């Protein structure tokens, strides 16, 4: 296999993390909304946990994106 082809395959695999981050963020906000609708008085207390979960899920996606870009644009 040529190195250029391996770089493209590796970058594609690393970008799968972006799909995982999108699913994770959707799950986090969906569950928060469901819980807030069931018990509106507890929603403000869970908001910091919501932001923490969002930040961690987004960071995972960003790390995957950075790795993919490094694979694409750093010469061998």
pLDDT tens string 50-59:
999 999 999 9
- pLDDT surpasses 80 at 76: no
Question: DSSP letter string over 14-54?
Answer: HTHHHHHHHHHHHHHHHHHHHHHHH-GGGHHHHHHHHHHHH
Is residue 61 within 8 A of residue 21, CB to CB? The reply is: yes
What angle do the packed helices 16-38 and 3-14 form, to 10 degrees?
0
Is residue 15 within 8 A of residue 65, CB to CB? The reply is: yes
Is residue 71 within 8 A of residue 7, CB to CB? The reply is: yes
Identify the pLDDT of residue 27: 95
| pLDDT 10s digits, 4-37 | 899 999 999 999 988 989 999 999 999 999 999 9
The model's pTM: 0.79
């Amino acid at each position: 296999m040529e190195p250029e082809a391996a770089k493209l395959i590796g970058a594609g695999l690393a970008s799968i993390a972006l799909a995982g981050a999108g699913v994770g963020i959707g799950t986090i906000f969906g569950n928060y909304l469901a819980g807030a609708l069931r018990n509106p008085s507890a929603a403000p207390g869970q908001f910091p946990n919501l932001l923490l979960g969002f930040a961690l899920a987004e960071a995972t996606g960003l790390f995957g994106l950075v790795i993919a870009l490094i694979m694409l644009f750093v010469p061998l």
